[in-house]
A = this chain, B = another copy of it.
Amino acid sequence: MRTHINNLLESRTACEQEDIADPLYHWQDEFQLPQDLIYLDGNSLGPLPKRALKYLEQAIQKEWAEDLITSWNRAGWWNLPETLGEFIAPLIGAASGQVIVSDSTSLNIYKAVHAALRLRPERTVIVSEADSFPTDLYIMEGVASTRQNMQRRLLGTDGNSLAELLDDQVAVVSLSHVNYRTGELLPIAELVKQTHAAGALFVLDTCHSAGILPVELDRWGVDFAVGCTYKYLNGGPGSPAFIYVAKQHQQEAVNPLSGWWGHARPFAFEENYQAAEGILRFRTGTQPILAFRGLQAGLEIAQEADIHQVRIKSQRLTQLFIELVKMRCGNFGITLQSPTDPEKRGSQVALHCLNGFAVIQALSARKIIADFRAPGTMRFGFAPLYLRYTDVWDAAEALFEVLETEEWRKECFQQKAAVT
């Protein structure tokens, strides 16, 4: 890869040629992106797939307006959680019947951690990571509060390796595949092995990996997993999340959010809850159908694109960006927070910069969209289906100009945003 990247570092023309040769180049036509915008925030919210327009119009004008209540059967609304779950399964290395789309990531973590704890009733420790996306930690607190004497151990706070934290009191290890801040990619297969050797269960958060790099839940032996669909899966703002429950746990696993959609016979309107067979018991209540329809297009595209090509291009894009920044912006106090080894990195690059917030604002004014995470992290996400090598070149060039001219000092870029 190094030689390859070195060539691209030479000139924008080299990047142009790389775009022409790129086997994923044509995928950008599937997305409706504003003209002249370089969108490096697909790790936060993916853009609109053009075919989503068609599905949404169909859902609104035909299914809702015209067919009304009959669409629950006729249009398959009722089965969307498992229908769309089957779209996701191959993207995360799951055999059929183990994934549904339902609710939000937070709620799916609640279900997964709760179910895992009940499978290890005699144990009292949850292991997670200090640098988890906070909702994972908050939800674990919520689950723990419903049980007696639960304790939390955090990687990064209570120990520096998973091995140090594991013992026969650990019920569940819950970690993120890719760190939301630094982009660090964890060696899940190895961590699952250690976890199982200690007799605990493994819950994986794939929010920053599903759809952007190969995930092999079945092969790695992951017990439960959750993930987000509005980032690299381009499902639309706040589109519903998914949950994976490994086949061997489905019979025993208890969903605490035992709503009627998870009942064995929802339309018998029985007085007592009886969980449906298999993954369907992780359904809860009525789901937001328009959001499901918005999601379908993104999932189709993710299935049709070759994930291995996506991974190769993703590594090249991030590496190119890192090298360009090193070359051009090395003198401005910017440091790399992401792993230097592309094999240990997801599809984003985190740069630390004291004035990062203002820099991101200045880039935004130049129509280059990335985001900022306090206290000083600039996050650049690289989605290979709609990004070009020339986009990376132009983004690095713009970053250099913003830093060199101190454009970021402008008053308008210094204001603090409530949501970033």
Residue of B70, B73, B130, B258 touching A418 (CB-CB under 8 A): B73
Given A107-B103, A107-B285, A369-B69: A137 touches B271 (CB 8 Å cut-off)? yes
Give the chain B neighbours of A27 by CB distance below 8 A.
none
Instruction: Decide: B254 and A145 in contact? CB cutoff 8 A.
Output: yes
Q: Which of A65, A66, A287 has the most CB of B within 10 A?
A: A65
Given A32-B65, A374-B268: A104 touches B287 (CB 8 Å cut-off)? yes
Give the chain B neighbours of A34 by CB distance below 8 A.
65-66, 68
Instruction: Decide: A273 and B104 in contact? CB cutoff 8 A.
Output: no
Instruction: Decide: B107 and A418 in contact? CB cutoff 8 A.
Output: no
User: Min CB distance, A133 to chain B, in Å?
Assistant: 8
State the oligomeric state as a number of copies.
2
Instruction: Decide: B272 and A141 in contact? CB cutoff 8 A.
Output: yes
Give the chain B neighbours of A259 by CB distance below 8 A.
104, 106-107, 135, 138-139, 142
Instruction: Decide: A238 and B107 in contact? CB cutoff 8 A.
Output: no
**Chain B residue nearest in CB terms to A78:** B419
Interface residues of A in 243-288 (CB under 8 A from B): 254-263, 266-273, 284-288
A262 to B287, CA, bound (A): 21
Instruction: Decide: A68 and B369 in contact? CB cutoff 8 A.
Output: yes
The interface of chain A, by Cβ under 8 A from chain B, is 32-34, 39, 41, 44-45, 47-48, 52-53, 56, 60-61, 63-66, 68-73, 77-78, 103-107, 110, 130, 133-135, 137-139, 141-143, 145-147, 154, 157, 228, 230, 236-241, 254-263, 266-273, 284-292, 294, 364, 369, 371, 373-374, 417-420
